Structure 1
Amino acid sequence: MITRRDILIASAAVALSAAFRTPQALGQPLPKTAHILTGFTPGLQDALARLVAGQMNDYAKTIVVETRPGAGGRIAVEAVKSADPDGSVMLFAPLGFMMFFPHVYKTLRYDPRDFTPVSTVASTPTLVTVGPKVPAEVKTLADFVGWCRANPKLATFGTPGAGTTLHFLGTMLGRSAGFDFLHVPYQGNGAIQDLMKGVIAAAVMPIGSALGLVQSGDLRALATTGPRRSPFVPAVPTVREAGYPSLEDLTWFAFFVPATTPAPVVDRLNEAIQAALRTDEVRVGMAKLAVEPDARAMGDFARLIASESERWKAIVLATGFVPTD
């Protein structure tokens, strides 16, 4: 299991290798075709990967984004782990694959140390929304908590899947507020569809999943989990403002390559990603997807994984969740 010491050592090794790279290494040919693997069916992650890939022309002549859904996204992770470490195959995934999954699965066919973190590209808070099953007078998170306590059989929330960070955020809300919040897992955006139909009371989803329906008034947003209010829903308070600071959380999307990828190749890929993030096309595209640019240096990225891994380990233990196969 990943530790802060492991991440810092790996980060230092990458930095040291990069510091002594040679002109011959820098002259290694770029891949003619590069593949970016994502682990879910087309949606936010896939769209974001294609957006960034479209501006990475200096890295490879052709960049193909492939969706490899299955096993909660782990199929794509395993495929990249076993790929040639030449920069031609990379993983684009939420950070949870590295800092969260090790704490919710008994066995993984990969270890976070099997990968080198290249760069984060964007982050987004989670949005807690309610639909028509909840009375119109419920307008704040405090109102909703009160309603759930008074109507325990109706206190349900949906997410894109069991054992995800979104699942745990909803569970933590129920535990922190003292009511049983029943989780209903869905595939993709199915939770939003059932929320609209009044099948479930609430949804805990990335902000972009429900933004249009919140803006139209069809759904009510009660809180966001970011450290500050989201520019996409500036009137919606944060969970800290609502009295639940322990729910503060962001979802980061990032690139990874196999751990044995040479440092000069990692550097070159990082530079291509950073250049793409500086383009107007990517910035405008991210705004349409309701995510914000959030690029971190490789060393900072490694430290982020370590700190978030420790935080989520404590959260999983506190909830009493039993790791699954």
Structure 2
Amino acid sequence: MITRRDLLTVATAGVAFSAANIAQQATAQQLPRTAHILSGFTPGLQDALARLVAGQMKDYAETIVVETRPGAGGRVAVEAVKTADADGSVMLLAPLGFMMFFPHVYKSLRYQPQDFTPVSTIASTPTLLTIGSKVPGEVKTLTDFVAWCRANPKQATYGTPGAGTTLHFLGAMLGRTAGFDYLHVPYQGNGAIQDLLKGEIASAILPVGSSLGLVQSGDIRALATTGPRRSPFVPAVPTVREAGYPSLEDLTWYGFFVPAKTPANIVEKLNTAIQAALRTDEVKSGMEKLAVEPDAIAMGDFSRLITSESDRWKAIVQATGFVPTD
């Protein structure tokens, strides 16, 4: 996994411009007065992150409008940004999975990572594996849960926000690695939580913030997080590496993208505005309330992260044999 550093450098296009050409280009490519941030999901964590950061990007545009464009598992918004004007007026905030593994999942995908310029990540969160009332109280660790699933194969179920998501594949890999049949039950958004509480499913794999309150209240039990270190929001919960499953280590990143042909000076201005927003107390405290951590990987390192993680997820997707139905 690439070392994460907070960089503010910009990759050059490899073409030498004269001073006169640079000045002319800067004049022609002004910042937009109104900008739009598109999110591919109904209001929730991603929408809240977009609004939080947009509120502190006043130096980039006079008005920044956050729009939710749900549909096709979030792909509607991605496709809309692909075909938008490449002038910095339209940007995408999305989980990096859209670029890292969707190309390996959907054979008829109407976009590719090269259709976008990665600007900056803004936050990351590990995934939390939780169990509910369907699982006996004596099951207290991931090792215990794996043993219970092996002994109760018809009850070994897990819920996620949908088929073909990173969380779906993490569950599939747990079943493959631990040697038991782990049945996936897809939901819309955080719908798995309600069925977990009712005992309809044995477990759920969700971002930390989606189930944190119920873990803290004791209504559901957390077995492991997928981050490289323990989450500050559930410090008593071990990581998957500590539990003996290092191959399941994973973070969900959220990042900004613009159409591929967006001028370099606009991309640089947007990157600078995002980095400045992430340093504000308002954004830091807001992310803490959302149970995510500020995590800024900018420009060149962001692109390298996507390439590295894409190779990793390609192998995982192929190993599961998953074929989408849409």
Alignment TM-score, normalising by the size of structure 2: 0.93
Aligned to 2:249: 248
Confirm or deny that 1:159 pairs with 2:156.
no
> How far is the alpha carbon of 1:16 from its aligned partner?
3.3
Per-residue CA distance 1:53-79 (angstroms, 9 max, x = gap): 010011111100000000010000000
Q: In the alignment, what sits opposite 2:285?
A: 284
Which residue identity lines up with residue 26 of structure 1 in the other structure?
Answer: A
Percent identical across equivalent pairs?
Answer: 81
CA distance in 1, matches of 2:286, 2:78: 25
Equivalent pairs, count = 314
User: Mapping of 1:1-325 within 5 angstroms?
Assistant: 14-16=11-13, 22-27=22-27, 28-322=29-323, 324-325=325-326
Q: Which amino acid aligns with 1:319?
A: T
**Structure 2 CA distance for partners of 1:123 and 1:18, relative to 1, 3 Å:** farther
1:162-193 Cα shifts (integer Å, max 9, x gaps): 01110000011111111100000000110011
Structure 1 counterpart SS, 2:12 = helix
Look up the equivalent residue of 1:145 and give its one-letter code: V
Equivalent residue for 2:6? none
Is 2:10–2:299's contact at 8 Å kept on the other side of the alignment? no
- Report the alpha carbon displacement of residue 317 of structure 1 after superposing the two structures with TM: 1.1
The separation in 2 between residues aligned to 1:104 and 1:120, in whole angstroms, is: 22
TM-score (norm 1): 0.94
Report the Cα offset of residue 321 of structure 1: 2.0
SS of equivalent to 1:75: helix
Structure 1 residue 29: deviation in Å? Answer: 2.7
Q: CA deviation at 1:124?
A: 0.4
Q: Which amino acid aligns with 2:53?
A: V
Query: In the TM superposition, what is the alpha-carbon distance from 1:13 to its structure 2 partner?
Result: 9.6
- Note closer, same or farther for the CA distance 1:18–1:127 as it changes in structure 2 (3 Å cut): farther
Work out the CA distance in 1 between the residues paired with 2:71 and 2:130: 27
Amino acid aligned to 1:231: P
1:225-261 Cα offsets, whole Å, 9 max, x none, are 0000000000000000000000000000000000000
1:5 corresponds to which residue? Answer: none
Matched-pair contact (CA < 8 Å) for 1:18–1:263: no
How far is the alpha carbon of 1:14 from its aligned partner?
4.3
User: In structure 2, what is the Cα distance between the partners aligned to 1:288 and 1:19?
Assistant: 46
Residue 6 (structure 1) aligns with: none
Q: CA RMSD in A?
A: 1.6
- For 2:162 and 2:225, locate their aligned partners in 1 and report how far apart those are by CA, in whole Å: 19
| Aligned position for 1:9 | none
> Counterparts of 1:18 and 1:238 in 2: how far apart (Å)?
46
In 2, Cα distance between the equivalents of 1:237 and 1:13? Answer: 37
Q: Distance in 2 between matches of 1:124 and 1:252?
A: 7
Q: Give the partner amino acid of 2:37.
A: I
Partner residue in 1 for 2:3:
none
CA deviations over 1:141-162 (Å, ceiling 9, x no partner) = 0010011111111100000000
8 Å contact from structure 2 (residues 30, 266) kept in 1: no
Report the 3-state secondary structure (helix = DSSP H, G, I; strand = E; otherwise coil) of the residue aligned with 2:227: coil
Q: CA 1:115–1:317 in structure 2 vs 1: closer, same or farther (change >3 Å)?
A: same
Unpaired stretches in structure 1, ≥5 consecutive residues: 1-11
Q: Deviation digits for residues 106-153 of structure 1, max 9, x if unmatched?
A: 111111100000000000000000011111111100010011111111
Match of 1:8 in 2: none
Structure 2 unmatched runs, 5+: 1-8
SS in 2 for 1:16: coil
Q: CA deviation at 1:322?
A: 2.9
TM-aligned CA distance change 1:18 to 1:37, over 3 Å:
farther
Residues 14 and 324 of structure 1: is their aligned pair in 2 closer, same or farther, counting only changes over 3 Å?
A: farther
Tell me the equivalent position of 1:7.
none
Once residues 29 and 104 of structure 1 are traced to their aligned partners in structure 2, the CA distance between those partners, rounded to angstroms, is 38
- Structure 1 residues 250-300: Cα deviation after superposition (integer angstroms, max 9, x where no partner): 000000000000000000000000000000000000011011011012111
SS of residue in 2 equivalent to 1:170 = helix
